Amino acid sequence: KIKENIEVFEELPVVSLEGKRVELDLERLLGARTIREIDAELTCKTFDYPTVDAYYADSSCNQRLKDVEIPLLMVSAIDDPLIPDSCIPYEEARRNDNLMLVTTRHGGHLGWVDEAASARGDGRRWCSDWIERTVLNHLDAALHLA
């Protein structure tokens, strides 16, 4: 979508949080093949991070999970193309009794498509209520245990 909306970057200044104009290399941005390359050229410059790894470390919830003091259900798909299995906080979940980590083999990023959603035939194949049903079932079970 960057190529389709390149005029936004050409016509409007990109400004950092401090209000400083950010100079982007549009050729590099348009040539990006990965999210990491986009983050290096756009996100790091806009939010003043020295490296992509510094941005990822700061934006990750992993360092904050030790401080969770109320029950938290975390659901993650192993095939998530943006947050791979290697980034799932297994150890952090084991160390904090308030964390419940559920992983699924499939689900991608921000959604789980199920057969019911695919079979609807209403053009909303991507839209699934699996995650909502899973969270509600978890809450129902937790309330009955209390």
- Would you say 88 and 76 are in contact if contact means Cβ atoms under 8 Å apart? yes
pTM of the predicted model, to two decimals?
Answer: 0.66
Q: What is the distance between the alpha carbons of residues 145 and 119, in angstroms, rounded to a whole number?
A: 35
Q: Which pLDDT tens digits describe the chain residue by residue (146 residues)?
A: 666 766 666 666 777 777 888 888 888 988 899 889 999 999 999 999 999 999 998 998 888 999 999 989 999 999 888 888 888 999 999 999 999 999 988 887 777 766 665 555 655 555 567 788 888 998 898 888 76
- Gyration radius of the chain's alpha carbons: 20
Sole residue written with tokens 């401090």? 18
Q: What is the distance between the alpha carbons of residues 65 and 68, in angstroms, rounded to a whole number?
A: 5
Q: What is the pLDDT of residue 58?
A: 92
Q: What is the pLDDT of residue 23?
A: 85
Residues 6+ apart with CB under 8 A from 67: none
Q: What is the distance between the alpha carbons of residues 67 and 120, in angstroms, rounded to a whole number?
A: 42
